[in-house]
Chain A
Amino acid sequence: MSTLAQGSVEGGNPLVNIGIFGAFVVVTLVIVFRASRNTKTASDYYAAGRSFSGPQNGTAIAGDYLSAASFLGIAGAIAVYGYDGFLYSIGFLVAWLVALLLVAELLRNTGKFTMGDVLAFRMRQRPVRAAAATSTLAVSFFYLLAQMAGAGGLVSLLLGVEGDVGQGVVIAVVGIVMIIYVLVGGMKGTTWVQIIKASLLIAGTAVMTVWVLGKYGLNLSELLGSASQAAGGGDALLNPGEQYGESGTTQLDFLSLGIALVLGTAGLPHVLMRFYTVPTSKEARRSVVWAIAWIGLFYLFTLVLGYGAAALVGTDTITNAPGGENAAAPLLALELGGPVLLGFIAAVAFATILAVVAGLTITASASFAHDVYANVIKKGKVDSKTTEVKVARITACVIGAVAIVGGILAKDQNVAFLVALAFAVAASANLPTILYSLFWKRFNTRGALWSIYGGLTTTLVLIVFSPAVSGSDSAMIPGADFAWFPLSNPGIVSIPLSFLLGIIGTMTSKEHLEGKHKEMEVRSLTGAGAEKATVH
């Protein structure tokens, strides 16, 4: 195996990498500027005029969902830990059934722009919208940090940019390009960026998958055999337990992670907001079907890529590379197709971060402008929708700035951990309230508030006092030890607790909203009175 130069992958050509990435940025910016011509109203800015088709939106959802953590993280986890890495993919995929069966269509029929629209539909508007915006901002913040931290790590690996200043500059460039996408293109521009990125990502991984399988006569069993041989002969890479099998605590931790993954997706605000970009609930359904197809296919590819990297690059080489596990997919690309394929994959990885960050920013800014500014501060009496969009644009700039600073500060954090945290918050703070709102007629304002704030607080408190933050070598603050909660993943406690708080809060409140629930149920099931596509 080749020895690796410090700082970047040897054999990779940073100029090629930067060139391909630059081409992606130029092409997408042109498309974003073209798409922006028709962005006038709030519906255009937040929901792309509800003019995308199911297949287009499904591809964009895949673009939003398949983040750098999915691509580099899972391929790397499979290459290093084998089977246990595969479990992430399964949780991330099965989770889409929750979105398909219980959430997507009903949400599309009931809301306008944000998660808060649905949660506050039959409740007292101001407190519930404020709560929905708080948890939206919290989830988006952790997810943003994860992506920006990933960008920092990728820089040294792929572009050969070394040193804190160099990495900071690259993170800032990513942030600024992202802000331009969001400001100029709104939801329409951002959606096109997602679609292009998803196509490139899936095409690139498809080529690599076929290439790897081709080397083993299209025989998966032979690939697995070669991978476990390269890892030292035993079957450790093929059997479960390599990463989480250590002790009873790690096993429980894994169970907790598994629950958060499967329940988190349908509570991710940036995924939910995508359902508003299609004209009808039927198109929302088609969106999820396309998303499931792309995402499932992609995770099957990463399985091959992960084992392929273990077999062809070698687990030791990957762990010792700059970027560690995250280097598995880029190193495999280099091994297969030399600097050009590496450059392509590196550019795709950057495009992935850029697109996901743009999607998160537009969601967070929409939630602030629509829920907090228009409905909480202005009590639903904004003079014109243009003001609301202006506020959303200013918020996008602020969030972009926060993301740049946060990304520079968080660049050494574990990307997969930050993403898992976002999923835990989404599953605890958002999903119970969404499901109760849609399906439980007795549910009321206090139930919603207790569930959202209770779920959010529990998750954050348990994280702060978990071994992920203090008390272990790999913790955020390795020197200190104030961990009393044994698990890094809080979902197994915080999710049931949040469901329970929703019930207790509801039952202890005298507020009855059954009349409004009838309206909400008719609307959500039939689409009567739902927002239509705007015609230009």
Chain B
Amino acid sequence: MNSTEPQPPEADTWARVHASEDFQRLRKRLRNFVFPMTALFLVWYLTYVLLADYAHDFMSTKVVGNINLGLILGLLQFVSTFVITGLYVRYANRKLDPIAENIRDEVEGGDKQ
């Protein structure tokens, strides 16, 4: 379609790369991180929503001055979002990107020749 791009590798290239040890390691690393982390933040978010929705007295407990437990838990949702973002970026930069780069070079480089 677009002449400026490299020709797409053959179908068996994809199958070969998919079966390679490197790719399987990359796939495992990605899934081992994102699936549990997604479960974690969704459970934490739903817990918070259910508390705010059904446990009004608990959430109305004053902690410091006029700041109640509901506000603190809500702000902690912000904190956990920022922390998970940071953790993922660190993980991806260190554990995912180098392998992905190697495989990409192999697929695209091997194809150009």
Contact = CB atoms under 8 A, between A and B. Distances in A.
A262 B45 contact: yes
Interface string A245-264: 10000010011001100100
A394 interface: no
B18 A239 contact: no
B26 A526 contact: yes
B107 A526 contact: yes
Given A93-B77, A97-B38, A101-B37, A254 B97 contact: no
Contacts of A296: 78, 81-82
A525 B38 contact: no
A123 B84 CA distance: 33
Contacts of A96: 81, 85
A289 B59 CA distance: 30
A87 B104 contact: no
B5 interface: yes
Interface string A205-228: 000000000000001111011001
Nearest to A300: B78
A241 B27 contact: no
A225 B37 CA distance: 37
Interface string B3-27: 0111011010011011000010011
Contacts of B33: 101
Interface in B37-86: 37-38, 41-42, 45-46, 48-50, 52-54, 56, 59-60, 64-68, 70-71, 74, 77-78, 81-82, 84-85
B14 to A, nearest CB: 4
Nearest to B31: A439
A528 B16 CA distance: 14
Given A221-B65, A296-B81, A529 B56 contact: no
Interface stretch (A31-39, A267-275, A513-521): A513-521
Nearest to B15: A518
Contacts of A251: 53-54
Interface residues of A, number: 59
Nearest to B17: A522
Contact of B92 (A93, A285, A522): A285
A255 B42 CA distance: 13
A481 interface: no
Contact of B64 (A221, A519, A529, A532): A221
A16 B1 CA distance: 51
B5 A93 contact: no
Interface string A491-529: 000000000000000000000000100110111011111
Contacts of A43: 2
Nearest to B67: A221
Given A90-B48, A93-B78, A522 B38 contact: no
B42 A262 contact: yes
Given A96-B81, A255-B53, A238 B34 contact: no
B59 A240 contact: yes
A40 interface: no
Interface of B: 2, 4-6, 8-9, 11, 14-15, 17-18, 23, 26-27, 30-31, 33-34, 37-38, 41-42, 45-46, 48-50, 52-54, 56, 59-60, 64-68, 70-71, 74, 77-78, 81-82, 84-85, 88-89, 92, 97, 100-101, 103-104, 107-108
Closest 7 CB pairs of A and B: A221-B65, A519-B14, A528-B107, A224-B66, A239-B60, A518-B18, A258-B49
Interface of A: 43, 83-84, 86-87, 90-91, 93-94, 96-98, 100-102, 219-222, 224-225, 228, 235, 238-241, 244-245, 251, 254-255, 258-259, 262, 282, 285, 288-289, 292-293, 296, 299-300, 439, 515, 518-519, 521-523, 525-529, 531-532, 534
17 contacts: A83-B71, A86-B74, A90-B74, A97-B84, A100-B88, A101-B37, A240-B52, A240-B70, A254-B53, A282-B97, A285-B89, A519-B15, A522-B103, A526-B104, A527-B104, A528-B104, A532-B5
Given A98-B38, A221-B66, A528-B103, 11 more contacts: A43-B2, A93-B77, A224-B65, A224-B71, A225-B66, A255-B49, A282-B97, A288-B85, A526-B17, A526-B104, A529-B9
